[in-house]
């Protein structure tokens, strides 16, 4: 029977350590930890307590923690708290991976939405006291956005914008109406409404103006990246004179 003492440096400190140590633990010969003829292992552990007998030498007391097995890739799995922590961390990491895969699966979806807007009536068309033009109109908005929904879609935010060009700005976009579509069943809709938000120009450029009505949407996922797209519907025109 061979008994190995676990001592960190040389044995000069062993004599002094007898006075300082309370109990030394001896380990039976374990060939996989030390080869015969090899010097004794120095076991350092994060929780081990060392008693310094001189500034140069230490004696490690493995009693406080058992030595690490060389085949264990994780240094601490020997306590309930450590295992629970390792499991929790790994589970959350894997959850992040699963959510990333769910988000990537959205790219497999090729949507085919459609929309149509009919301007029924221009309610009034006036010049404001501060000099800006303002229009109020009634529209029929119908759209089929069902193909945008996947299993990873939380909701779709859709809005209708009037777009036109003026000498001052190359592109003006005015949001006339918006809505939130919470699920696929509500994604095919038809709505008869006046413009929810005021259509006001910066200036007096709207008389006889040709404009596009563009339906924009933002698909908000449950996990992952939000993406946006639009359908442009050209060919609308405002009246030549104020009403």
Partner 1 sequence: MINDDGELESDQRMDWQGQKLAEQLMQILLLSFAVVAFTTGYFMASFQMMILTYFGGVVLTTLVTVPNWPFYNRHPLEWLDPSEVEKHPKPQPSANSTSKKKPVKK
Report the interface residues with partner 1, using CB under 8 A: 1-5, 10-12, 14-15, 18, 23-28, 37-40, 63-66, 69, 71-74, 77-80, 83-84, 86-87, 90-91, 94-95, 97-98, 101-102, 105, 150-152, 222-223
For partner 1, the closer of residues 7 and 206 by Cβ is 7
Q: Which of 38, 154, 144, 177 is nearest to 103 (CA)?
A: 154
**Cβ proximity to partner 1, 69 vs 120, nearer residue:** 69
Beta carbons within 8 Å of 98's beta carbon, 6+ residues apart = none
Q: Nearest approach, Cβ of 79 to partner 1 (angstroms)?
A: 6
In the complex with partner 1, which residue's Cβ is closer, 13 or 162? Answer: 13
Closest separation in Å from C-beta 145 to partner 1: 17
Residues 157 and 220: their CA atoms lie apart, in Å, by 8
Q: How many angstroms separate the CA atoms of 105 and 145, rounded?
A: 19
Identity of the residue, 91 or 180, whose beta carbon is nearer to partner 1 in the bound complex: 91
Shortest Å distance, C-beta 52 to partner 1: 17
Write down the least CB distance from residue 20 to partner 1, Å.
13
Nearer to partner 1, 102 or 231 (CB): 102
Q: Least CB distance from residue 51 to partner 1, whole Å? A: 14
User: Over the Cα atoms of the chain, what is R_g?
Assistant: 38
- 3-state DSSP call for residue 187? helix
Distances (CA, A) of 45 to 8, 16, 51, 75, 77: 12, 22, 13, 9, 14
Q: Are 122 and 240 in contact (CB under 8 A)?
A: no
């Amino acid at each position: 029977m061979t008994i190995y003492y676990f001592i960190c440096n040389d044995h000069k400190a062993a004599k002094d350590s007898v006075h300082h140590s309370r109990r030394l633990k001896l380990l039976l010969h374990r060939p996989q930890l030390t080869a015969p003829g090899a010097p004794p292992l120095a076991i350092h552990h994060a929780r081990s307590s060392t008693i310094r007998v001189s500034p140069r030498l230490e004696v490690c007391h493995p009693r406080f923690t058992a030595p690490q097995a060389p085949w264990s890739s994780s240094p601490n799995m020997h306590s309930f708290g450590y295992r629970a922590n390792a499991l929790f961390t790994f589970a959350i990491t894997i959850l992040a991976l699963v959510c990333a895969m769910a988000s990537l699966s959205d790219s497999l979806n090729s949507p085919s939405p459609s929309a149509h807007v009919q301007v029924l009536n221009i309610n009034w068309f006036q010049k404001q006291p501060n000099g800006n033009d303002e229009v109020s109109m009634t529209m029929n908005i119908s759209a089929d956005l069902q193909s945008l929904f996947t299993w990873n879609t939380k909701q779709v935010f859709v809005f209708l914008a009037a777009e036109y060009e003026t000498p001052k700005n190359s592109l003006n976009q005015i949001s006339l109406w918006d809505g939130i579509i919470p699920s696929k069943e509500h994604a095919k809709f038809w709505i008869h409404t006046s413009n929810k938000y005021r259509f006001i120009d910066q200036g007096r450029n709207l008389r006889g103006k040709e404009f596009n009505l563009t339906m924009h949407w933002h698909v908000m996922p449950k996990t992952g990246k939000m993406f946006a797209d639009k359908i442009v519907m050209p060919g609308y025109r405002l009246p030549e004179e104020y009403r």
